[in-house]
Chain A
Amino acid sequence: MSAPGDMLSCGHSLADLSEYLDTGRIGDPGHLADCPECQSGLASLRRLSALGHELLDADTATAGSGSDDWMKTILGNLRLELRPGRIIPLRSDSPEDVLTETEGSISALIRSVADSLPGTAAGKCRLYGDVTRPGAPITVGVDLAVVYGHPLEDRAATLRWKLATALARQTELNITAIDVTITDVLEPRKPEPLNPEPRHPEQPPGPGAPPTPQEEP
């Protein structure tokens, strides 16, 4: 496979070293540390790889921000179709009317309730049980992220209560349990640029701080 000149005098080829960099696999790993030719070849390939990372960073910076117009155009073109999920029957006064709601609308309701609590955001949510059968016992499972500093158990308890209320008011589901799983504790947001004084002088936002999204309507 190797062309003349790619073979080192120690018996390894640059192709061997290239694969070693990606997979960590090579016939005789003990040889590498003591072989100046292999070391020099590896150093050269690593310099190339570092330069490749630089090129990717430069290209990504040139590509622009995800908040820019190009992404708005793409997102506008996507027209994401909805995910209705299962069809949930609703009571109707007349037997001629067939009323339903979708599982997707229930998970949207659950997300909106979870997102409305201070310092929390919903993740995935699930309805366990046969939602297509009226009155069937249903368990709700919802993943939750909470911003660091907010009381976890308190938030989970409040969410369970608020969800129970909202689901009882806005659906006909027979909810028997609501399981809240806290999957993430989030870093608090950095001070807004509107406030020039850092709120925590011991931790000013450094150059590595993520840029605040700027998107004026």
Chain B
Amino acid sequence: MEAEESDRLVTGSPSAPHQLDLVPDALLAGRAADGDTAAFEALARRHGPLMRACARRLTGSLADADDVVQESLMQAWKQLDTLRDGDAVKSWLLRITGSRSIDHLRKRRNHSNLGDLDHRVEAGAGTAHQDHPESAALSGSRMDALKAALAALPEEQRRCWVLKQFNDQSYEEIAQTLNISTASVRGRLARARITLAREMEDWR
């Protein structure tokens, strides 16, 4: 098999660390469902940062977010054969990330005070702008205003907004994740948006 090893995928380029990183989601999902762990890891590398971003906004904690990503990937691996449309793997992963995040919040509610946690994410996120103070000054401060307004929202409204805006879930999916009615989702999402839009209009 040595000769075959040298013939790597994609125009004979020197064997890249992750040749599967070029392959579309659906193909990787098919392979992963067959038991190909390398294909699954390529999917995880591809969508992991987005999953992590969503989990951080939902849980408000950097450490919890990584736990959520890990649990979500574990669940995804186990349930891959239930995924009908491999092209939809990204939204499927985000849906799992959303419900695992909410589960984490429910578990944590018994242990600690939620109020302290948002600062941890902001402390971690703020460092990203320090490398580009010039370009970040304008959009960064606007972004900071949105983060502050978001942090001030009632918990349930913030969850609805993040699940919609970040995880890109439908009203029905959000309702299922939060265990509330779609009418409640509609109402909370509207409340959140009205408050946020007003804050941002005032800010302009």
Interface residues of A (CB under 8 A from B): 1, 3, 6, 13-15, 18-19, 22-23, 44-45, 47-49, 51-56, 58-67, 70-71, 73-75, 77-78, 80, 82-85, 104, 107-108, 111-113, 115-125, 143, 145, 147, 149, 183-184, 186-189, 192, 194, 212-215
Contacts and interface: CB of A to CB of B under 8 A. Distances in A.
B27 A143 contact: yes
A116 B19 contact: no
B99 to A, nearest CB: 18
Interface string B184-203: 00110111011011001100
A124 to B, nearest CB: 3
Interface residues of B, number: 73
A123 B30 contact: yes
Contact of A125 (B34, B45, B74, B197): B34
B146 A51 contact: yes
B7 A63 contact: no
A60 B34 contact: no
A70 B22 CA distance: 21
Contacts of A64: 49, 52
Interface of B is mostly: helix
Contacts of B176: none
B9 interface: yes
B147 A55 contact: yes
A151 B85 CA distance: 28
A104 B35 contact: yes
A62 B126 CA distance: 9
26 contacts: A15-B187, A18-B186, A18-B189, A18-B194, A51-B200, A52-B166, A60-B53, A61-B128, A66-B44, A67-B18, A71-B44, A71-B45, A77-B70, A78-B74, A78-B77, A83-B35, A107-B35, A111-B36, A112-B1, A119-B10, A119-B11, A123-B31, A124-B33, A184-B24, A213-B18, A215-B18
Interface string B14-41: 1011111111101100110111110011
Contacts of B200: 47-48, 51
B27 A184 contact: yes
> Which of B9, B13, B196 has the most A CB atoms < 10 Å from its CB?
B9
B23 A63 contact: no
B169 to A, nearest CB: 10
A140 to B, nearest CB: 13
Contacts of A117: 7
B104 interface: no
Given A62-B125, A74-B48, A55 B146 contact: yes
A164 B31 CA distance: 20
Given A18-B189, A59-B57, A124-B31, A48 B18 contact: no
